[in-house]
Chain A
Amino acid sequence: MRMVNLRASYNARRLALALAVILVLGFLLLPSQLQGVFQQLGSPVGWVLSWPLRAMASVHDGIADLWTGFVVLQGVEEENKLLRKELEHLKGQNSQLREAAVATERLTALLEFKAQALPSMIAAQVIGRDTGNWYRTIILNKGESDGLQSDMGVITSAGVVGRIVKTTAATSVVLLATDPNNAIAGLIQRTRDEGIVEGTTQGLARLKYIPLLSNARTGDRVVTSGLVGGFPRGLAIGTITKIDKAEEALFQSAELTPEVDVNRVEEVLVIQSPYAPNEGERLDAPSVKPKS
């Protein structure tokens, strides 16, 4: 049995109470201003704290590499055989796709379509996960000083990972596509029906607001529509595993298996928002002069 805290002075108690009241009042009366101040102050603090975070992440990665490289070697030969088979299959598919790409290029030139400009990307490493339990996020080792901002899209070569929601000078927090608070504009690749992809509480994703007349089916791939958010058109989000069509509902919804295993992602690419002209600029509308 231990004796606790009997020496806290009366002045300290009064000071604590006053400080608590001032802070609560401040947070109630000026929430956005104080949030801005603390976020600004947090940027250098985040830079300082990114060093122990990176150190711990590199030690963790070293141990994980050692484990996967030397300890978990069972079944590697079998996996190797399977991968060789898959490689052969993909080689065949690749040559077919090359042919298709050449044909598409030719037709595009004929129709005088403008080529979609590829956005510039920044590579980043995952150094941690959310410090709380309410959101599914990952922490990247790049931040404001590397040109990253909130709302930028984050991908891997396999597909969409999520989008940045918070940055400090040296780190960024990415809300994963499987988080129920995330929403990404998507479309079904085969039927071209659009919808909104949201995360689920089970760690999967769901495409909502699919038109009732859509003939979407299990196995259809869902990609980004490029209409809203920091993603260009055509990035893989997931594959439909189940269609839900409730009676008297105005829309259908579909359960997706995400293309990227967000629990194992280690390196990502951050899409720096490409220049997007507004409606007036696209239509060459004359600019409005400010009133004097």
Chain B
Amino acid sequence: MKALWYAILIACLVPIQSVLLPHVSVWAVKPDIGFIVVCLVGLLGGELEGLLVGLAMGWVMSLFSAEDLIFSMVTKGGVGYVAGLVGRQVVYLTPVVLVMGLLVTSCLAGLLTAFSLTLNEAQDLWWAIRAVVLPQALFDAVVGGTLYWMVWSRLNIERWVSDYRA
């Protein structure tokens, strides 16, 4: 049942990422909603869920992008796994901690991608950091923080999560 919900979530995120988010892009950079969701799933569901959802999300998102399939899977799967590990260490998760975590993780994932890509002479590492990595990390952090704050402050998700785990 849980797997079905995650499959539906991923199926809904693909059109959001590909059709709606390009309209909110700034300097041709848009937030990676898949990355944010994988972080949240890892934090709340643990390493295994984070890893599996990350792998599936990376795979599906790469089908609608020119990005390398394996790299996308490994990056998102790794992010989900690390989020699960971090989630076990952090007892209280505030929106500020989440925003900082998303900022750092997105920066690291972006840098890893920049290093892995065979950038041509027009796209050096400095360009990648300035034009893609940092703006995307900021975007991810703001969108992730806002999502977390909205959902957790407006809805009684905490009890739902506790009941779900019990």
Task: Give the distance to chain B from A273, nearest Cβ to Cβ, in Å.
Answer: 20
Q: Cβ of B67 and Cβ of A134 under 8 Å apart?
A: yes
A19-30 vs B, Cβ < 8 Å mask (1 yes, 0 no): 110011001000
A27 near B70 with CB under 8 A, answer yes
Say if the beta carbon of A35 comes within 8 Å of chain B.
Answer: yes
- Taking CB atoms, residues of chain A closer than 8 Å to B52 are 19
CB closest residue in chain A, given B110: A133
8 Å CB contacts to B: which residues of A16-68? 16-17, 19-20, 23-24, 27, 31, 34-35, 38-39, 42, 45-46, 48-49, 52-53, 55-57, 60
Question: Could you say which residues of chain B place their CB within 8 Å of the CB of A35?
Answer: 68-70
Q: Is the CB of A134 within 8 A of B18?
A: no
Q: How many residues of chain A are within 8 Å of chain B by beta carbon? A: 59
Known: A4-B93, A16-B47. A52 touches B88 (CB 8 A): no
A166 to B132, CA, bound (A): 22
Q: Do A133 and B28 touch across chains, with their CB atoms under 8 A apart?
A: yes
A252 within 8 A of B: no
Report yes or no: A5 in contact with B66, Cβ–Cβ below 8 A: no
B46 adjacent to A13 (CB under 8 Å)? yes
Interface membership of A127, Cβ < 8 A = yes
Q: Tell me if B's interface is mostly helix, strand, loop or mixed.
A: helix
Distance of A6 Cα from B20 Cα, bound (Å)? 35
Distance in angstroms between the alpha carbons of A129 and B66 in the assembled complex? 10
Contact B81 A16, beta carbon cutoff 8 Å: yes
Instruction: Flag whether A260 is at the interface (Cβ < 8 A).
Output: no
| CB pair A5 B67 closer than 8 Å | no
A1 touches B65 (CB 8 A): no
Interface hits, B8-63 → A, CB 8 Å: 11-12, 14-20, 22, 28-30, 32, 34, 43-48, 50-52, 55, 59-63
Given contacts A15-B48, A45-B60, A52-B12, contact A23 B77 (CB under 8 A): yes
What residues of chain A lie closer than 8 Å to B93, measured between beta carbons? Answer: 1-4
Across the interface, name the chain A residue whose C-beta is closest to B46: A8
Q: A168 and B63: CB pair below 8 A?
A: yes
> Which residues on B sit within 8 Å (CB–CB) of A181?
66, 120
Instruction: Please classify how large the interface on chain B is, using the bins under 10, 10 to 19, 20 to 34, 35 or more.
Output: 35 or more
Contact of B47 among A4, A17, A166, A200 (CB under 8 A): A17
Q: B150: CB under 8 A from chain A?
A: no
User: Given A12, A23, A46, A57, which contacts B46 in the complex, CB threshold below 8 Å?
Assistant: A12
A99 to chain B, nearest CB (A): 43
Residues of A within 8 A of B22 (CB): 129
Contact B120 A5 (CB under 8 A): no
| 20 other A-B residue contacts (CB within 8 Å) besides A2-B152, A4-B93, A42-B69 | A6-B91, A8-B88, A12-B48, A20-B51, A23-B55, A23-B74, A38-B69, A46-B63, A46-B64, A49-B11, A49-B64, A53-B19, A56-B19, A129-B18, A130-B18, A131-B64, A133-B132, A137-B65, A180-B120, A200-B122
Chain A interface (Cβ within 8 Å of chain B)? 1-8, 12-13, 15-17, 19-20, 23-24, 27, 31, 34-35, 38-39, 42, 45-46, 48-49, 52-53, 55-57, 60, 127-137, 139, 165-166, 168, 171, 173, 175, 179-181, 198, 200-201, 203
